[in-house]
Structure 1
């Protein structure tokens, strides 16, 4: 699969306006089709009125210097949101560039429901113990299929300057081989760190195909991870039920994460953090 061939691709973002996109808050729902809600499964973890407050504080999406930029509303408020394509897509090749601040926990949602958090996610967890290029099952069992976990290198003044592999002794979300075992292909942390450009633009390519899809993610030309979502074995994950629930097509969305409310706090999304996206284009397969 060549990465330079742009034949058949069309832009999803015009670089000037948010035409073709709409914003939604980052609210929660059932943990898997037919399962309990996140709040029911984790009582006390979120405020009782979490969804109502989240709806009142969706993320802020702007266009700046040709990039689509996502921030919390207001900065440091702790609330998240999505920006969602008006169109629905099934099988496709998606390409874009991304430049996240540190820390900024974001991701790319595939076959997402329009108004809920349900869908397949390609992770861009640019924060301590996060992973980039792996996969997560939003509202479809919460599977966490990643090849490694990451942390940051700081200079003498404490400023972040590069990524490194997460230290298990200090990890806040320990990496386990069982997470890597969910993948059909996975690069090493060493290879990823050589490819990643810190505080700069990184080229992403995501290909998803099939009713119970296979999905792959490349970053700067490196195949980071692939998954077969028709074959993975994970508690409360039912490939047939998920395919029926999400359908053959869904929305693509970009995420601004919340601050967990008792979890990572500003370690997940810094007070003034943003993620930037540009050159977003797609080829339906």
Structure 2
């Protein structure tokens, strides 16, 4: 819908990665002031050796683990930094591919407000996570795949709370000022197809609103957010009034392994446009 709106400016030319750069998915503290990771470990060294594989294919940015199945991720960052804006793009994730879109992101990529695109078991799409800024998890449902008789994923369904690996505790939806239900989300999500995201970010401690395929999915007021590890002033000091836009390739932790990002999985983004105000 918005790709032909002249008030939005393209920030991806559809052919090259000009205007973008990639960085490793560095392990970071969960919140400003928290202890950082042990940088002397082999795990930390390996995590810094790859930034993922970022290519342009059929007019879309595509991100994969590099090499496939290595279990380490990375970020693709906009060269430009942005304060108050609306961002519109289309995304198409494989299953499973645990990704997200960070706004007001630091130069590391891994610090910022993340709009979730957790296209995997116990994941959420359209909720908001505090990546390196407190670990708050504003979501209202979790997802799993539907499988056919051959064991192939064929769509999304709401997850059975009894089998989830990330319980939907009451504090998570309580962080959101608005939260669509899982049933509402499933009514508009297109499996194995392109889905349009519209993200509005406004304010020093931003109010963030997420629409997917023209349906409002979530809204959060981070100026008044109450969470044990989130401090609005400390986050403003860390991120500043403007930040990068970052697309994520997740790593594979011991708990989920390849259920978080399959060896040959990818996520693609296209028609990326922005309107600043």
Please point out which of 105, 108, 113 is paired with 2:101: 108
Aligned to 2:22: 23
Aligned to 1:273: 265
Aligned to 2:179: 186
**Deviation of residue 129 (structure 1)?**
0.4
Aligned pairs, number:
277
Cα distance in 2 for partners of 1:160, 1:219 equals: 22
Task: Answer yes or no: is the 8 Å Cα contact 2:92–2:193 preserved in 1.
Answer: yes
Aligned to 1:249: 242
- Please say if 1:234 is aligned against 2:233: no
- Please say if 1:119 is aligned against 2:112: yes
**Deviation of residue 117 (structure 1)?**
1.3
| Structure 2: stretches of 5+ with no match in the other structure | none
**Deviation of residue 103 (structure 1)?**
0.2
Structure 1 residues 44-59: aligned runs within 5 Å? 48-59=41-52
Secondary structure of the 2:48 match is: helix
Cα distance in 2 for partners of 1:91, 1:185 equals: 20
Aligned to 2:86: 93
| Structure 1: stretches of 5+ with no match in the other structure | 41-45
- Please say if 1:156 is aligned against 2:155: no
The TM-score with structure 1 as length reference comes to: 0.94
Structure 1 residues 131-146: aligned runs within 5 Å? 131-146=124-139
**Deviation of residue 7 (structure 1)?**
3.6
Cα distance in 1 for partners of 2:189, 2:265 equals: 19
* CA-based RMSD: 1.6
Structure 1 residues 119 and 271: alpha-carbon distance in aligned structure 2, compared to 1, 3 A threshold = same
